């Protein structure tokens, strides 16, 4: 599975999605299951996306990383960041989750159950534990 392409667990993984190192400490099994099966039901805070139409007719979509009075920074699916000037934006709407919707179709029910159990077991950051010892 390509979860690590977008998610960090411990030291490994990408930064497009939320860090999952201690995801089991703060979420329920139900929430985790839903995040995988219905990514749009509840988009993690700070990972809202936008779809933007520019004045020259291009569409750009991504996670809203930063925004101020004259520009907006989007993180695209390939993890690159684009900055758009508000003056260059024709229209904007809220986008879907960047978490792929079809992940669940690639898993057997058993794999899905194991995956949720695994995520739920991620309660403490192993690096933090090392520091305590």
Task: Please give the residue ranges that form the binding site for ligand HEC (CB under 6 A).
Answer: 1-3, 5-7, 16-18, 23, 32, 35-36, 39, 43-44, 47, 77, 97-100, 103, 115, 119
* Closest approach of ligand HEC to the CB of residue 74, in Å: 12
d(CA 16, CA 85): 22
d(CA 18, CA 46): 9
The distance of Cα 39 from the centroid of its chain, to the nearest Å, equals 9
* Closest approach of ligand HEC to the CB of residue 62, in Å: 10
Q: Of 4 and 55, which has the nearer Cβ to ligand HEC?
A: 4
d(CA 85, CA 64): 13
Q: Of 35 and 64, which has the nearer Cβ to ligand HEC?
A: 35
* Closest approach of ligand HEC to the CB of residue 31, in Å: 7
* Closest approach of ligand HEC to the CB of residue 87, in Å: 28
Q: Of 84 and 99, which has the nearer Cβ to ligand HEC?
A: 99
> 3: closest CA among 82, 116, 108?
116
């Amino acid at each position: 599975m390509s979860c690590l392409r977008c998610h960090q667990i411990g030291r490994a993984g990408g930064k497009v999605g939320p860090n999952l190192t201690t995801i089991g400490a703060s979420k329920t099994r139900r929430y985790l299951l839903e995040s995988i099966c219905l990514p749009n039901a509840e988009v993690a805070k700070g990972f809202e996306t936008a779809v933007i139409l520019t004045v020259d007719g291009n569409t750009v979509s991504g996670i809203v990383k930063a925004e101020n009075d004259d520009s907006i920074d989007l993180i695209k699916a390939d993890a690159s960041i684009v900055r758009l000037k508000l003056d260059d934006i024709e229209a904007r709407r809220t986008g879907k989750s960047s978490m792929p919707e079809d992940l669940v179709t690639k898993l057997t029910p058993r794999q899905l159950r194991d995956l949720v159990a695994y995520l739920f077991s991620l309660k403490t950051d192993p690096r933090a534990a090392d520091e305590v010892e």
